[in-house]
Amino acid sequence: MKKIRNLIVLLFTLVLLSACGFQLQTRAELPPELQQIRLEVQSPYSPFARRLETLLEQNGAQIVETGKNAAVLEVPQNRMRKEIQSIGNNARVREYLIRHTVQFRLLDSQGNEMIPLQTFEQSRVYRFNAQDILAAEREDEFLRKELSDSLARMVVRRLGTYGK
């Protein structure tokens, strides 16, 4: 009896998820023009650049150093800033804001603009506790990595919409 009830609950949950349009995110379908891409990133060894390269390769693009038929993904701005968000009554920082900004554009192999210059920006706020500096540093690192990953995914999804 318990198995039947669990099965009914599972089926009901699946019906609800499919009815609301929920779908797992799939790979970005990059158009044929983007099968070979040359990256020109402001800071090529940053977490954002490394994650962008990985995501492009996972979505079927081949990253090349040079190539006559390669599209060019320019990232002239890849900047992360840490700002004070709020100060407590003891004149110490309570919260920080981490802001990551990325600008990019896509050119074809002849230098014609396929996607004009676009800017994506994300930010996160975290509490700073002077009593637990190691935890605050770890949270700062985690948020920076998460912002880089999120922005790289946004860029790849935008590339996947080219021509649609």
pLDDT in tens, the chain (164 residues): 777 877 777 777 766 666 666 555 556 678 788 889 999 998 889 999 999 999 999 998 999 988 788 999 999 999 999 999 998 888 888 899 999 999 999 999 898 999 999 999 999 999 888 788 888 889 999 999 999 999 999 999 999 887 66
Domains of the chain: 29-160 (3.30.160.150)
**φ, ψ (nearest 5 deg) of residue 118:** -130, 155
Pure H helices in the chain: 2-19, 47-58, 133-160
Residue 3 vs residues 10, 11, 12, 17: alpha-carbon distances, Å: 10, 12, 14, 21
Task: Name the nearest CA neighbour of 104 among 34, 31, 42.
Answer: 42
- In this prediction, residue 155 carries a pLDDT of 95
The predicted model scores a pTM of 0.78
pLDDT at 21: 61
H or E, element range at 122: strand 113-127
Tell me which residue of 155, 152, 77, 71 sits closest to 63, measured CA to CA. 71
Are 147 and 80 in contact, with CB atoms under 8 Å apart?
yes
pLDDT value, residue 119: 97
> Most distant CA pair in the chain: distance in Å?
67
Residue 44's CB: how many other CB atoms inside 10 A? 14
**Torsional class of 108: left (φ above 0), alpha (ψ -120 to 50), beta (otherwise):** beta
In whole angstroms, give the CA distance from residue 120 to residue 54.
Answer: 19
pLDDT for 27? 61
